[in-house]
Chains A and B, each alone.
Chain A
Amino acid sequence: MWVDVTVVAALAFAAALAPLMSIPLLVWAERKMSAFIQDRTGPNRAEILGLRLGGLVHPFADVVKLITKEDLTPERADRFYYTLAPFLALFVSLLAFAILPLADTLHFGGRALPMRALTLNAGILYILAVTGFHVYAVVIAGWASHNGYALLGGLRSAAQMVSYELALGLSLVGVVLVAGTLDPGEIVAGQSGVLFGFLPRWNVFLQPVGFVLFLIALFAETNRNPFDLPEGESEIIGFHVEYSSMRFASFFMAEYASMFTGSAVAASLFFGGWQVPWIGTEALRANAPLVARVAFGALAAFCIVAALIAQGYKGRLARLYRDRRSREATVLQMIFLFTAAVSLILLAFLSTLPPWGAQVLIALVQGAFLLGKTLAFTFLFIWVRWTLPRFRYDQLMGLGWKSLVPLALLNLAVTGIVLLWFD
């Protein structure tokens, strides 16, 4: 009993923490990638003890800035809802992550511990329900601001989300049909093994059209470019015109958190979630020491490469800067070399693992794979944002109703026929 409660509490904590912790990372990635795509250098000024980490310190400077800014409430705004909306947005964007399994089920002394915070056998419906909730935050924000532009932004958002939710749900039904279950845990677990002898048996290969439709609808659901009409920061003003300080930051954080959560959902339902490609959990657990060696070896190799890259920057930094920033590459190089040395020592002394150690290690490796797949999707989100222009409103509606919904229905029909054929 107590073990279960503790494990669930720990998992719930992890499930809430992962999207939250991803926010500064994603903000940084977005700034730096957008800069590189546009041939700029991006943020590189903020420093802590001379360490700038390529601009990774800037999100923390941002937090200080946003907290200390004046927090305005328009005079005729509805105070309760005006305050509620940003935190509702942030809260809702964290919810969907709870349903996703972070690793395969652990077995301790005859007890099975599912590695997810929330075990529901209708988890897909839960995902659709909480993503649908996001629109409330936006509409409430637009309405409560008592500002015409904000209201219009909220209105656009309502229409957009309702339209694309349909395509999102229909494209997920294809996955449900293939997997034969509504439970994300089972859907992910069912994606082990291989397809046609060489492909990992991931749903994306069974539902390619469904995946593309899901991805497009997901972009719309998370309000990311090219579907960011509700916000429209560069020209049409959006639902959060009136917000400032930390309440604005909450919307900002919600956008990145929901991007992370959405990526995790896409990775879980279509790319096998925690599944290590081609290798099942049993095989991994049987060879746990080998897996540990590979993991430490990979870490050491990564650190050595990073140290070599840092070597190349030493001269450049010393030429450019006269202050403590000039030593940045040296400090980072030391840290990388130290990490590499530690992991090499562990690699050398690691030969056997107790059974529970093997299970925990494999769970960590699988969690790392889920994280990697999720980050790959967030990369895609950012990459698309800095490539594509925003849709016009009628184009957005046309794409949603005239292309995505019929295609999703067609995909569903074909999937159903094929499944019937093979039964």
Chain B
Amino acid sequence: MNAPERWYLIEVLRGMGVSLRHLVRNIFHQDEMPTLQYPEEKRILPERFRGRHRLMKREDGTPRCTACFCCQTACPADCISIEAGEREDGGEKVAVRFDINILRCVFCGFCVEACPCDAIRMDTGKYELADDRREKLIYDIDFLLNR
């Protein structure tokens, strides 16, 4: 600190100049402010944004998931729980229950990476997941396949 800096008053005035500049600029150029008026204005999401999960279907409409448990194993938050079952036509396994507890999910995307069948994706772009009951935030297979 040199002498004028140690003598507060001048530096105080300089600092007040800075805040006044911001004040005046923002009063006259409110459109240029970085703030988005959120529910009305929304941010444009990047292409690879990880939103809410969805389960994919084959062309014939059956779920692609083969209940291999890879995603459940990979999940660091331990929020996927799957129950495997037989398929009617005797083919691969299917998931009879597939729950994602979104309250625990950390949106890391490991489940998507782990899936060998490309059955689970996070490309819905949905991130407004608030709800009023915890039960509603455990997504079941029906919800994940169809919405």
Contact = CB atoms under 8 A, between A and B. Distances in A.
Interface of A: 33, 35-41, 44, 212, 316, 320-322, 383-384, 386-388
B40 A37 contact: no
Nearest to B26: A36
9 contacts: A39-B22, A40-B33, A40-B35, A41-B33, A320-B41, A383-B20, A386-B19, A387-B15, A387-B19
B23 A384 contact: no
Contacts of B27: 36
Contact of A316 (B19, B23, B31): B31
Given A384-B16, A388-B12, A41 B35 contact: yes
B1 interface: no
Contacts of A387: 12, 15-16, 18-19
Interface in B14-72: 15-16, 18-20, 22-23, 26-27, 30-31, 33-35, 37, 40-41
A36 B24 CA distance: 8
Q: Which 7 A-B pairs have the closest CB atoms?
A: A36-B26, A387-B19, A37-B19, A41-B35, A36-B23, A387-B16, A320-B40
Nearest to B30: A41
A40 B36 CA distance: 10
A388 B22 CA distance: 15
Most buried by A among B12, B19, B20: B19
B17 to A, nearest CB: 9
Contact of A36 (B12, B22, B37, B40): B22
B40 A33 contact: no
A303 B12 CA distance: 36
Contacts of B12: 387-388
B37 A383 contact: no
Contacts of A386: 19
Contacts of A41: 30, 33, 35, 37
B16 A383 contact: yes
A190 B15 CA distance: 35
A96 B20 CA distance: 30
A320 B19 contact: no
Contacts of B37: 41, 44, 320
A321 B18 CA distance: 33
Contact of B23 (A37, A44, A321): A37
Contacts of B15: 387-388
A38 B16 contact: no
Nearest to B40: A320
A322 B37 CA distance: 13
Contacts of B16: 383-384, 387
Contacts of A388: 12, 15
Given A36-B26, A36-B27, A41-B30, A383 B19 contact: yes
A122 B34 CA distance: 54
A388 B11 CA distance: 10
Contacts of B19: 37, 383, 386-387
Contacts of A36: 22-23, 26-27
Contacts of A384: 16
A363 B16 CA distance: 35
Contacts of A40: 33, 35
Given A383-B20, A388-B12, A388-B15, A39 B31 contact: no
A388 B8 CA distance: 11
A37 B41 contact: no
Contacts of B23: 33, 36-37, 383
